[in-house]
């Protein structure tokens, strides 16, 4: 198998415009088969539009490439048959039961053994005893499971998950991600958008976009390293006053409260250290710490240019 054949997603210069506004601007992306790839970006950054172009729901205005070996411009119908797409909002019938919703999806895909497909989906996600429960009666976590089961019922090779854990409690989020890693181990490729930094850290690789533009991509370690961000933890008295005083000072780009401490970050490490040496003359303790993904993500977003106009 060639290197290109090992890619589930391999696109170059993908662009989408609505009127005069470019919402996805020349994005290149390669995702290996079986990989969990995180897509990070603020609301309105173009993540959902990009996903919809990958799964054949939107046609790009520019660019080229393949999804599961199919041309994204010519083979949209074929792509739809092999992709599972989980939207941001719960989109199933709340007045139907879990089993009835799954049977409906199985019918759409023309599956021969619909009953068997539904039973396998229920068992896979631990819903055997809930098949008769109405979808509208489910909690957020169980609705999430139903949505994932519906995505998997036709045994897709690629899952496109658009902010799948928004509004879900921490336990359900962890269980969801455990299932995502099991699916990855079985060879299913997953592209997932998220706002949660801890979820991004569970991905094999990530990409950050803002206002339609790709900002950085790589492993979490590579993304953090490429930012050149320096971060200090400060503890002591009168931190609220200190945080206010630090804003806008040389080298200071972010000042963030963390419990009984504050974290101060910036890309000019020397200027930042000099500023903190002056500012902490009141006896506050300071220590250099490793920058986190959230520090880097916020720094990237602050530098990005809004494309709304």
Question: What is the distance between the alpha carbons of residues 234 and 221, in angstroms, rounded to a whole number?
Answer: 24
Burial pattern 210-223, b for ≥16 Cβ within 10 A else e, equals bbbbbbbbeebeeb
Q: Which two tokens stand for residue 280?
A: 């902490």
Cα R_g (the chain), whole angstroms:
22
Contacts of 277 (CB under 8 A, 6+ apart): none
Domains of the chain: 7-224 (3.40.50.300), 230-290 (3.30.70.100)
Strand order in the sheet with 36-40: 83-86, 158-162, 189-194, 36-40, 205-210, 213-218
Residue 197: HSE in the Cβ half-sphere, 13 Å Cα cutoff: 12
What was the pLDDT predicted at 142? 86
Helices then strands (H, E): number in the chain?
Answer: 11, 14
Strand order in the sheet with 70-71: 21-32, 7-18, 62-67, 70-71
DSSP 304: P
Alpha carbon 144 to its chain centroid, in Å, reads 16
Contacts of 1 (CB under 8 A, 6+ apart): none
Cα of first residue to Cα of last residue in the chain, in angstroms, is 45
pLDDT in tens for each of the 309 residues of the chain?
455 568 999 999 999 999 999 999 999 999 999 999 999 988 888 999 999 999 999 999 999 999 999 999 999 999 999 999 998 887 888 899 999 999 999 999 998 889 999 999 888 888 888 889 998 898 888 888 889 999 999 999 999 999 888 878 888 889 899 999 999 999 999 999 988 889 999 999 999 999 999 999 999 999 999 999 999 999 998 899 999 999 999 999 999 998 899 999 999 999 999 999 999 887 889 999 999 999 999 888 887 766 555
pTM assigned to the model: 0.90
């Amino acid at each position: 198998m060639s290197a290109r054949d090992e890619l589930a997603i391999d696109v170059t210069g993908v662009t989408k415009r609505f009127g005069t506004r470019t919402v996805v601007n020349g994005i290149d992306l390669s995702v290996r088969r079986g990989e969990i790839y995180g897509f990070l970006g603020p609301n309105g950054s173009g993540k959902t539009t990009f996903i919809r172009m990958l799964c054949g729901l939107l046609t790009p205005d520019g660019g080229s490439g393949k999804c599961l070996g199919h041309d994204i411009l010519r083979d949209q119908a074929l792509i739809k048959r092999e992709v599972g797409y989980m939207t941001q909002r719960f989109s199933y019938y709340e007045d139907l039961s879990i089993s009835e919703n799954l049977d409906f999806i199985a019918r759409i895909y023309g599956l021969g053994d619909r009953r068997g497909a539904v039973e396998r989906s229920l068992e896979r996600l631990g819903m055997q005893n809930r098949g008769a429960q109405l979808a509208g009666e489910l909690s957020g976590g169980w609705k999430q499971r139903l949505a994932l089961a519906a995505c998997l019922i036709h045994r897709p090779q690629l899952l496109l998950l658009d902010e799948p854990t928004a509004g879900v409690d921490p336990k359900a989020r962890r269980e969801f991600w455990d299932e995502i890693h099991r699916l990855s181990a079985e060879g299913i490729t997953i592209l997932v958008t998220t706002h949660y930094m801890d979820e991004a850290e569970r991905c094999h690789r990530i990409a950050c976009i803002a206002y339609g533009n790709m900002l950085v991509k790589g492993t979490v370690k590579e993304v953090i390293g490429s930012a050149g961000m320096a971060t200090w933890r400060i503890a002591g008295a009168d931190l609220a006053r200190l945080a206010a005083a630090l804003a806008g000072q040389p080298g200071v780009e972010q000042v963030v409260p963390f419990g009984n401490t504050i974290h101060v970050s910036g890309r000019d490490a020397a200027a930042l250290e000099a500023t903190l040496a002056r500012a902490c003359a009141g006896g506050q303790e300071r220590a250099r710490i490793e920058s986190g993904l959230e520090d880097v993500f916020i720094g990237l977003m602050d530098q990005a240019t809004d494309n709304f106009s």
